[in-house]
Amino acid sequence: MASASATTPTLPSTQTVWKIVRKGVPAKALVKEENAPVPKKIPKGNVLVKIQAASLNPVGYKMMRMAPNSFLKRIAEYDFAGEVVDANGNLQFKVGDQVFGSIPVGESFKTGQGALAQYTYVPAKATAHRPEGITPNEASGIAIVALTAYTALYHIGKLEAGQRIFVNGGSTSVGIYTIQLAKALGCKVYASASGKNEEFLKSLGVDEFYDYTKQPIHEALVQNPPSSKFDVIFEAVGHAYIPLYTHSEAYLAPNGTYISVGPTPDGFSETLSLLWNFFMHPKWAGGTKRRFEILRINKTGELLDEIAKAITDGKVKPVIDSVYKFEDVLSAYDKILTGHARGKVVVEVS
Ligand SMILES: NC(=O)c1ccc[n+]([C@@H]2O[C@H](COP(=O)([O-])OP(=O)(O)OC[C@H]3O[C@@H](n4cnc5c(N)ncnc54)[C@H](OP(=O)(O)O)[C@@H]3O)[C@@H](O)[C@H]2O)c1
């Protein structure tokens, strides 16, 4: 979205932020700090953004739970939408530009910056112009989950028109983008969620729905495999779900790929069985004969522009579960921690 004005605004010297100060659940880990400094020295390659909205991601609370000491005393969360207030010499942005993006977790470690702030600086390469026709609240929830869906579909799965994908966790925010992008590509999409989300997922274009509360999904797929096996299985819940992989020869094509968003860092036994299956019990020793990949986002800048274009072209629509005020951040965390939000949990900052 183009800038309304190129005049550098006068910035306050202090601001309100939500800071991680100790390890634990959000209610224990976070404090609201009302006199935090507004950053003055912006490192090269970063822009200063006045935050309009921030969206929560599971990585936010997972990091609080397992935070090493070096991770403390920094502002929480990563995904944002806002307005550039200091372009800091980055030629692709100017003051007043309406933007969205995500502070990479590693950057947040280094700089202490986060999205639950009134002002934050963010790498220009992790920032893009907000597409026309969507609100800051909608834009705030795009970056991490859309980058994840893009990485799974295009970089790892290399999905092509006419192929079949199974999305475990179709109503996760990651799943919602994956389904829409796969449908836009012309694929047949199968997805799981609890029964209450069946109509919603079908409205996104899902061809076949599986209710995980009725029967374990791998059992349903073994008993009733698709007429042609899947080209990609994307495990988008984040609980490893080992049996979905270990039974996959029944429903994943021999040259297909099983992609996992990764087990929860605190799911110790799942992580152990994952390690056992993939490193101690390889294919030659009778392990599952299917390619397995754990997803890592490794590209941001240009991809965010592509995602913005997909939104402008109407291929993808952001979905919001709920919106909270800046002072109600802890209630927003209560919602995402249920594990049953349908779309993004948004915090309105200004
Ligand atoms: N590796 C990476 O770089 C990366 C990047 C982004 C996200 N992630 C991970 O990806 C996962 C999803 O993130 P998100 O933000 O999309 O999550 P989210 O939006 O908070 O997910 C909530 C959804 O999960 C569904 N769900 C819960 N249990 C399920 C189950 N057993 N089977 C199917 N659906 C289930 C719920 O549907 P129902 O209400 O119907 O149960 C709900 O709609 C998280 O673990 C996150 O940490 C990893």
For residues 324-344, give the mean pLDDT: 98
Percent of the chain clearing pLDDT 70 (strictly above):
90
Alpha helices in 141-264 (DSSP H): 143-150, 173-185, 198-203, 217-223, 242-246
User: Among 172, 218, 337, which residue has the most ligand 1 atoms within 8 Å of its CB, making it the best to mutate?
Assistant: 172
- CA separation for the pair 169, 274 (Å, rounded): 19
Ligand 1 centroid to residue 167 C-alpha, Å: 11
pLDDT of residue 327: 98
Domains of the chain: 14-142+318-348 (3.90.180.10), 145-294 (3.40.50.720)
Q: How confident is the model at residue 5 (pLDDT cuts 50, 70, 90)?
A: very low
Residue 84: CB atoms within 10 Å = 24
pLDDT of residue 239: 76
Percent of the chain clearing pLDDT 90 (strictly above):
79
Q: Is the Cβ–Cβ distance between 75 and 95 less than 8 Å?
A: no
Ligand 1 centroid to residue 335 C-alpha, Å: 13
Contacts of residue 146, Cβ cutoff 8 Å, sequence gap at least 6: 177, 307, 316
Q: How confident is the model at residue 283 (pLDDT cuts 50, 70, 90)?
A: low
Closest CA to 256 of 275, 233, 273: 233
pLDDT of residue 3: 47
- CA separation for the pair 271, 344 (Å, rounded): 27
Relative orientation angle of helices 58-66 and 329-337, to the nearest 10 degrees: 100
Q: Which atom of ligand 1 is nearest to the CA of 262?
A: 1
Write the pLDDT tens digit of every residue in 14-40.
999 999 999 999 999 999 999 999 999
Closest CA to 249 of 210, 283, 203, 204: 283
163/287: higher pLDDT: 163
Q: Is residue 229 predicted with pLDDT exceeding 80?
A: yes
Write the pLDDT tens digit of every residue in 53-109.
999 999 999 989 887 776 778 999 999 999 999 999 999 999 999 999 999 988 998
pLDDT of residue 286: 67
Q: How confident is the model at residue 287 (pLDDT cuts 50, 70, 90)?
A: confident
Q: How confident is the model at residue 4 (pLDDT cuts 50, 70, 90)?
A: very low
User: Average model confidence (pLDDT) for the chain?
Assistant: 92
| Binding pocket residue ranges, ligand 1, CB within 6 Å | 57-59, 144-145, 148, 168-169, 171-174, 192-194, 197, 212, 236-238, 261-262, 295-297, 336, 339-342
Looking at this protein, which amino acid is placed at residue 268?
A: F
Q: Is the Cβ–Cβ distance between 58 and 45 less than 8 Å?
A: no
Ligand 1 centroid to residue 158 C-alpha, Å: 22
For residues 313-335, give the mean pLDDT: 97
Ligand 1 centroid to residue 21 C-alpha, Å: 26
- CA separation for the pair 304, 122 (Å, rounded): 14
For residues 114-126, give the mean pLDDT: 97
For residues 265-286, give the mean pLDDT: 61
Ligand 1 centroid to residue 58 C-alpha, Å: 8
